[in-house]
Structure 1
Amino acid sequence: MSFVYIVVFLFCLAIAVAGIWVSHRSINTYHTDFHQNYFYYLITFYAFAFYGIWAQILMRGLLSIIDSDNALVTMTANFLPILGIPFLCISWIMLVKMGYSLVETPIGRKVSYFHAIFFVGLVPVAWGLYVVLFQEDWLLGEQLAYAEMGLMLFIELASMVVFAVPVLGHSKKYKKPKRKILNLFVVLMVLAFLLRGTFLPFLFSGTWFVAPILLFYFLSNFIPLFYLKLKSDIAFIPVYAGRPNAEKKTLLCKAYGITKREREIVDGICEGKTNQQIADELFISLQTVKDHTHRIYSKIGINSRMKLVQLVNG
């Protein structure tokens, strides 16, 4: 079992690092408030996952190895998630801000502040009520762990609703391709939360259930991120798009042997057009645009739209 936990921990670490890295690259590519909020959401989400969940499991294991008293093990493990609450609070606020910044609705700042004050204030109130109910045993037993989990899931559910409502309500102002991407992204985020909420209580059900649940917990937020990464060229416009430098573009095309058709693709990319828009204007298929784009990247020695746009427009 120790080997299994080590492998799962390394996978979780790799997922967290990959998610944060992909999100950070998106900030550099598109430089929007949404991508910044998403980046901070992922950082705080994974920070709590390590500090509030993995640290609890590791602490239980270490204290068990040195034959500590069961009451001490339980009390220490139950208290660790409480110290991770600041990470959760920030992730909830970032989640709310993500929804409003995704559809560029300015009221999001006021809503996120109200959300922060209300739900952060709910934490000590719920904590005090719990202490009154259980009195002497409030730091012992599994009831504290389940109470923490229930409060966490309730506030995250409220945050998810506040995140989803503005996106689904305001995405109608965008054209169908982008609207479809935004709505599906919201659906993936909600499904990820629902599945986390379904499986998280089983952390206490048995040793073999814990490892796959932890792995899924980390993967849940990576799936929406990966989907958005694949569709970013349609939903967002890169930095510097719309300001091509004709002289730089001519020199670049001559230096790397860019063909006439490939130059038309370069023009479209540097004007901030999506692959589908380029395909429609040139009367070619979307796959043909992708094939030309790949050849352009190979000739120049780059691997993203952002680098091409920076070479021509920056």
Structure 2
Amino acid sequence: MTTRTVRHQTIEVAGVRVAYRESGPADAPVLLLLHGFPTSSHQFARLMDALGDTPYRLIAPDYPGFGRTEAPPAFTYTFDRLADVVEGFTDALGLDRFALYVFDYGAPVGLRVATRRPERVTGLIVQNGNAYEEGLSDAARAFAALRREVPGDEEKVRDLFSAEGVRFQYETGVADQTLVSPDGRALDLHYLGLPGRAEAQADLTFDYASNFTHYPAWQAWLRSAGIPVLVLWGAGDPFFTTAGAKAYLRDVPDAELHLFEGAGHFALETHLDRITPLIANALPHLTNASTAEAEVHRRG
């Protein structure tokens, strides 16, 4: 397998210094990878290496409040604003066409971007990213029901950012927990501990319920977009159930669906070896790249 050269860069987007990792030829078809909570673009590091011999440009940004991205003190942490920054990021990099990989928080961020600029999106990979009411577990509904003005809810939110809370998200539903590297959650805890990060994450938690009102619009886009969709799902996810994965087939009947038993929320941690070839095989269709175009980039 060819080893990828991964570049770690930053770019200014409306006062936010967005950190991102990127690999592949600058003129190759693009896969934009959008991470979840409480992690960063680091969650895609192994996948980017595993896709090393595929002829595509892979780009994974950190949102404001996550990873190495730096936002000004006055930044408002809502999902609308995260989408604003990601949309501005695609403009800043000149990404006119791209496939989306959305995971967890990446789903409400990426689907906002997709419905704002549908002409840009060539394909969609969904990995444990919910867009349907029936996909919400009791834990997810309880998470979304938290309110800042309710006594005790702020403390419940802060528990999500604790070492035990982060570990719960990585290991719950995983059949073999020895496959989950502790390094990822250690890095997450480092970034969560930076000044202002806990407040930013609390703001996003309290804004999470705003995503539910967008579900009908996202589902309508899925029905009308006519793009290929690949759904990959850790079946043991404590937040987003397999019912949410199967619901995508209602709006995109020819979507490709794979449920991974023994995988939790972070399915890439334990099932990278099974997920990578599925993505590699789907990328020509997801990016709308011709065989000839892909071969040109493969040869460099």
Length-normalised TM-score, structure 2: 0.28
Bigger share in helix = 1
Bigger share in strand = 2
Length-normalised TM-score, structure 1: 0.27
The structure with the largest alpha-carbon Rg is 1
